[in-house]
């Protein structure tokens, strides 16, 4: 760009952006890419939205209380007409707030503020700690895309906002935490690691050759004893058979 030329903005970017151009939403939730300035030439990196919408701010939102912990969550629902879905904002708030409150580890739904923007439906949840409350990483996690979709499906008559021929899908949410401080940097919220599987029991000991020999001897002794017992019984029965035969012949 020549010296003195006007700074380029993202509305001049003519490349392809799968999830639309970046830009803060206007009053109707539509992106304003002309407000995003490019450093040099406009590129996909500087002008294209991520799947979940605008990148997370590197520092806390200017409107938040700098003395409190703040969490931000973002996700995106596709398959919806934004113009129709936003008519159900109150109903969406009622279903989405519990999902993000649970992930943040808070009980008061009044701590959760929902913001929606076009594309199909960009969803942002902001959670601010109460006085004296901390929202530490250990107590926070990320909801799943399935949680978001389940909440949306509970919105009454949400089917009216589905784009014909499309189905609903939700991106896996992302989240950051801002510790107290006017310029505190974003800390990524990560889900807890999966539980460690239980330790399997030790394998049964393998019999030694000595044990095998002892077992064979025991079997052999048992067989001999049984044979001897059978022979003894046979000899005991033989005289009885002979006597019975003589008695029959005599009579």
Which domains are assigned to the chain?
7-49 (no CATH), 50-188 (3.30.70)
Model pLDDT, residue 238? 47
CA atoms of 83 and 119, how far apart (whole Å): 10
Q: Which whole number is the average pLDDT over 109-121?
A: 93
Model pLDDT, residue 1? 45
User: Which one has a higher pLDDT value, 250 or 131?
Assistant: 131
Q: Where are the alpha helices (DSSP H) in the chain?
A: 44-47, 82-85, 89-104, 145-153, 209-250
Model pLDDT, residue 29? 72
Model pLDDT, residue 4? 47
CA atoms of 178 and 113, how far apart (whole Å): 16
Residue 155 DSSP SS3 = coil
Q: Is 173 a residue whose pLDDT tops 70?
A: yes
Model pLDDT, residue 237? 47
Residue 102 DSSP SS3 = helix
DSSP 5-22: PPPPBGGG--S--TT-B-
Least confident window among 61-70, 189-198, 208-217: 208-217
User: Which one has a higher pLDDT value, 23 or 247?
Assistant: 23
Rounded to two decimals, the pTM is: 0.69
User: Which one has a higher pLDDT value, 251 or 55?
Assistant: 55
| Whole-Å CA distances, 202 to 69, 88, 159, 161, 211 | 47, 58, 54, 57, 20
Model pLDDT, residue 125? 97
């Amino acid at each position: 760009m020549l010296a003195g030329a006007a700074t380029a903005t993202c509305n001049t970017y003519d490349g392809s952006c799968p999830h639309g151009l970046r830009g803060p939403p206007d009053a109707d939730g539509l992106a304003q890419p002309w407000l995003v300035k490019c450093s040099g030439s406009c590129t996909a990196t500087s002008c294209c939205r991520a799947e979940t919408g605008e990148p997370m701010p590197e520092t806390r939102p200017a409107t938040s209380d700098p003395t409190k912990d703040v969490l931000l969550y973002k996700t995106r629902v596709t398959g919806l007409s934004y113009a129709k879905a936003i008519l159900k904002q109150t109903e969406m708030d009622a279903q989405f707030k519990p999902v993000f409150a649970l992930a943040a580890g808070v009980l008061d739904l009044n701590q959760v503020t929902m913001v929606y923007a076009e594309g199909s439906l960009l969803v942002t949840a902001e959670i601010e700690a109460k006085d004296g409350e901390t929202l530490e990483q250990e107590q926070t996690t990320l909801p799943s895309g399935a949680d978001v979709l389940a909440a949306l499906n509970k919105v009454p008559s949400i089917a009216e906002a589905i784009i014909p021929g499309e189905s609903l899908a939700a991106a896996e949410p992302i989240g950051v935490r801002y510790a107290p401080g006017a310029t505190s940097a974003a800390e990524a919220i990560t889900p807890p690691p999966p539980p460690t599987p239980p330790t399997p029991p030790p394998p049964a000991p393998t019999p030694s050759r000595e044990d095998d020999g002892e077992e064979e001897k025991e079997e052999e002794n048992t067989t001999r004893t049984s044979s001897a017992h059978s022979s003894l019984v046979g000899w005991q029965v033989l005289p009885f058979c002979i006597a019975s035969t003589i008695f029959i012949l005599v009579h």
